[in-house]
Structure 1
């Protein structure tokens, strides 16, 4: 089943859509929604690493649609550090959120392109993920 990546408020690439479609196909997802989590088990507030990422897709008219893409990071230091949204591209609500506030999603075009390129580079060998929520 295809993933709609064209005509969105942000320039989602075919490469990202194909990678996510591969994951959905390999895991035989048959529900009407899926939340895919990418996690680096070595990521920590102290040592850094690759940020956890969550991507939600919902099926509409036999096509997967993007709901949101959220990138998380640790905020704070030491034992008070907690995982928080770093970048949140919410396609359904039409907003972009970062640590500085909430903005119209169209204002996130440049940062989205940088984020996506980094994400695809980090996950160039897409592998089974830690968690899928149906």
Structure 2
């Protein structure tokens, strides 16, 4: 299955991302039908992650199912978002930590509890390098069982 960046087909996604997403969609299609135009959202998390104890940040991946000019099934990567806790008080919030938004064309990284935010346009050298490193790490975390698929919605 071909995977493209949603609204930005000129962006070359790293192989590790396209292979992982293609495999995940194939597994879902074994048990569910997915129609063209529908979004599929995968949620991965470390069940022990908390503001007090830390852990691996939860990750959400959304793809929109599509068809190419040959009527073959493709997927458009809409976004990949990592969440982290912000705040060390009694009410920490789960916020977007790393957000690769291919639909709207930007990637954002929030560091130091929201004190520093870096935003790049999708397709820039910095955004591409950050996404590749992020996704390689994500695949490793899934591979060692630190992040587990917690839910899929269609």
Q: TM-score, normalised by structure 1?
A: 0.83
Does residue 103 (structure 1) correspond to residue 114 (structure 2)? The answer is no
| SS in structure 1 at match of 2:130 | helix
Picking from 94, 97, 118, the partner of 1:86 is 97
SS of aligned partner of 2:90: helix
1:70 matches 2:69 = no
Partner Cα separation in structure 2 for residue 52 and residue 90 of structure 1: 16
Query: Where in structure 2 are the equivalents of 1:1-134 lying within 5 Å?
Result: 2-5=1-4, 9=11, 11-13=13-15, 14-31=18-35, 32-61=38-67, 62-99=73-110, 100-105=117-122, 106=124, 107-124=126-143, 129-134=149-154
The structure number with the bigger radius of gyration is 2
Count of residue correspondences: 133
CA distance in 1, matches of 2:12, 2:99: 12
RMSD: 2.4
User: Would you say the 8 A contact 1:40–1:51 is kept in 2?
Assistant: yes
Q: Specify which structure has the higher proportion of strand.
A: 2
Residues 39, 30 of structure 1: alpha-carbon distance in 2 compared, 3 angstrom cutoff: same
Gaps of 5+ in 1: none
Query: How far off is 1:128 after superposition?
Result: 7.0
SS in 2 for 1:48: coil
> Which runs of at least 4 in structure 1 moved beyond 3 Å after TM superposition?
5-8, 125-128
